[in-house]
Structure 1
Amino acid sequence: MNQQILFNEQIELDWQQQWFRFDAILAGQRVPCFITLAQLGRRWSRPIPDPESASVAFEQLRFDLEEEAESLIEDEAFDAQGRIWLGHPAI
């Protein structure tokens, strides 16, 4: 598929739920994309002990995360709520 998928700069960290959310825009619709902090830490190759470290890790890996999310969107790997979860099979 040759779809135009854009990502905005806005990210949301939910420290209690242990995930990051970032949004893709596809045909004018927001597609919520998530990665757990555990998954992010594995990709960053070090623990994430605090929110500041989480933000640094996300920013350092942003390009790769957005590329993976784009691929999952193109594969229509949405969960039952229409979300994309990096590192998890669609539910």
Structure 2
Amino acid sequence: MNQNILFPDIQTWVEERNVIIFPAQQAGKLIECVVSLGKLSEMAGYQIQENEILVEFDALRFDLEELAEKAIENEDFNLVGEVELG
């Protein structure tokens, strides 16, 4: 893992967007990373229910952080500066 990119143990479910947002920090800059419920379900291998979202996110955190790290290194940001993982 690139030690220049840090991932604090913070995540927020945003129901209106059906995404979890989790922060990354690179050289003091805060970057919002976004993973959709669909992507999370795809990675888990089953349709995740709303009451399981944060538990599954925790189970997949390492893989999600790796995906986010690659996207940050490739500067793959959306129009509002987020890293979208699906």
Calculate the TM-score normalised by the size of structure 2: 0.92
Runs of 4+ in 1 over 6 A off after TM superposition: none
Q: 2:74 aligns to what? A: 75
Aligned: 1:42 with 2:42: yes
Structure 2: state its 5+ residue gaps: none
Displacement after TM superposition at 1:16 (Å): 2.9
Count of residue correspondences: 85
Q: 2:10 aligns to what? A: 10
- Percentage of identical aligned residues: 36
Higher relative contact order (CA 8 A, sep 6+): 2
Structure 1: state its 5+ residue gaps: none
Q: 2:60 aligns to what? A: 61
In structure 2, relative to structure 1, the CA distance for the partners of 1:53 and 1:82 (3 Å cut) is same
Q: Using the alignment, how far apart are the partners of 1:78 and 1:60 within structure 2?
A: 25
In structure 2, relative to structure 1, the CA distance for the partners of 1:82 and 1:15 (3 Å cut) is same
RMSD: 1.3
Calculate the TM-score normalised by the size of structure 1: 0.87
Higher strand share: 1
Contact kept? 1:3, 1:74, Cα under 8 Å: no
Aligned: 1:29 with 2:21: no
